[in-house]
Amino acid sequence: MKALILAIALSFSILPAISASVFMPKNIEQGIKTTAKLKWPNDFQMQKYVIDLQTEAYYEVRYYKNKKVPTKILKSIIDRARIKWPGDYQMQSYVIKNQVSAYLAIN
């Protein structure tokens, strides 16, 4: 029964919303929400869209791994993305993926 409930939750994307509030540090969550509200003060649909995208990207960045890239190089790529795009997890994810792809293409 628990497996069925979990499968249903995953299929309706309920679990990501729950996990965001459980595992994401409150200051990160609040920063994402504040940024969305400032950028789209009267457009709640866009606020939700930005919050959802940034939350997903936060987890992508937070748990990004690539065994083909040496740890020191990957850490450097991630650190540079975080410094260049503080609080913008979508851009961090974009930069990390592109830098890793370029690294793998030339090595």
Measured CA to CA in angstroms, residue 105 lies from 37, 61, 65, 69, 91 at distances of 39, 21, 17, 11, 21
Please, which pLDDT band fits residue 45 given cuts at 50, 70 and 90?
Answer: very high
- Mean per-residue pLDDT for 85-102? 98
Please, which pLDDT band fits residue 23 given cuts at 50, 70 and 90?
Answer: confident
- Mean per-residue pLDDT for 43-69? 97
How far apart, in whole angstroms, are the C-alpha atoms of residue 51 and residue 56?
9
Q: Is the confidence at residue 2, as pLDDT, over 80?
A: no
Percent of the chain residues topping a pLDDT of 90: 79
To the nearest 10°, the Cα dihedral for 63, 64, 65, 70? -120
In Å, how far from its chain's centre is CA 22?
Answer: 15
In Å, how far from its chain's centre is CA 92?
Answer: 8
The structure tokens 């994402």 sit at 32
Instruction: Enter the pTM of the model.
Output: 0.76
Q: Is the confidence at residue 3, as pLDDT, over 70?
A: no
The pLDDT of residue 22 is: 52
Q: Is the confidence at residue 8, as pLDDT, over 50?
A: no
